[in-house]
Amino acid sequence: MATRGRPRAFDRDHALRTAMLAFWARGYESVSTTELAGSMGISQSSLYAAFGDKQSLFREAVAYYGEHEGAIARRALTTSDTARQAVETMLRQSADRFTDRSLPSGCMVVLAATNATAGNAAVQEFASELRRRDEAALSARLARAVTEGELPGHADPGALAAYYHSVLYGLSIHARDGRDRPGLHAIVDLAMKVWPT
């Protein structure tokens, strides 16, 4: 089943990465499809033919972000030996990522869709849902740590997950405000003192 019709003249994955970088740096509504097509080197028609509409493109761009940029921090949750190590690794690697000068600062899921007009409320809700999902994954990992005895029985996995995600969100804002890498790690140093014993 070879592909019929005229073949696409641009690299779809590369275009997606361009969209991710733009949305990540400036947010969903501050990036126009006209501008995106321009920096992709293609026409509006090609963009719409390849990705549907702007919202679909954004969702794909966020998915791309999750696979390429967010994957490392997320994998810490499943590969670390202890829950404590998982949390600290997640925060440390986020601190490193958020201050990578070759990429936009902070986390795309936190910063790219914080506000929107009424017509784009779905985009906001989409990002919010992703944040909830990540937090639920952390909460589950902490709950496992309680049953395994790594965390004391009185520890509240839900509250701890919300707390560490709160710090994580804060790192994004701080990174956007220009705080440097050691500054973010100093915050993580303090945040880890909360770990129950």
CB 185 within 8 A of CB 171: no
Residue 111 interacts with, from DNA, a copy of itself, none (CB under 5-8 Å by kind) = a copy of itself
In this chain, which of 13, 14, 39, 43 binds DNA, going by CB under 7 A? 43
DSSP the chain: -PPPSSPPSS-HHHHHHHHHHHHHHH-STTS-HHHHHHHHTS-HHHHHHHH-SHHHHHHHHHHHHHHHTSHHHHHHHHH-SSHHHHHHHHHHHHHHHHT-TTS-SS-HHHHTTS---GGGHHHHHHHHHHHHHHHHHHHHHHHHHHHTTSS-TT--HHHHHHHHHHHHHHHHHHHHTT--HHHHHHHHHHHGGG---
Nearer CB in complex with DNA: 53/100: 53
Residue 159 interacts with, from a copy of itself, DNA, none (CB under 5-8 Å by kind) = a copy of itself
Which residue stretch of 13-21, 43-51, 139-147, 173-181 sits at the interface with a copy of itself (rule: CB under 8 A)? 173-181
Nearer CB in complex with DNA: 27/196: 27
Residue 49 interacts with, from DNA, a copy of itself, none (CB under 5-8 Å by kind) = DNA
Nearer CB in complex with a copy of itself: 46/96: 96
Q: What sign results for the dihedral spanned by CA atoms 82, 84, 88, 94?
A: positive
In this chain, which of 112, 123, 145, 146 binds a copy of itself, going by CB under 8 A? 112
Nearer CB in complex with DNA: 32/85: 32
Min dist CB 49 to a copy of itself, Å, is 26
21 near DNA, judged by CB under 7 A: no
Site residues for DNA per CB under 7 A: 1-10, 31-35, 42-46, 48-50, 53-55, 117
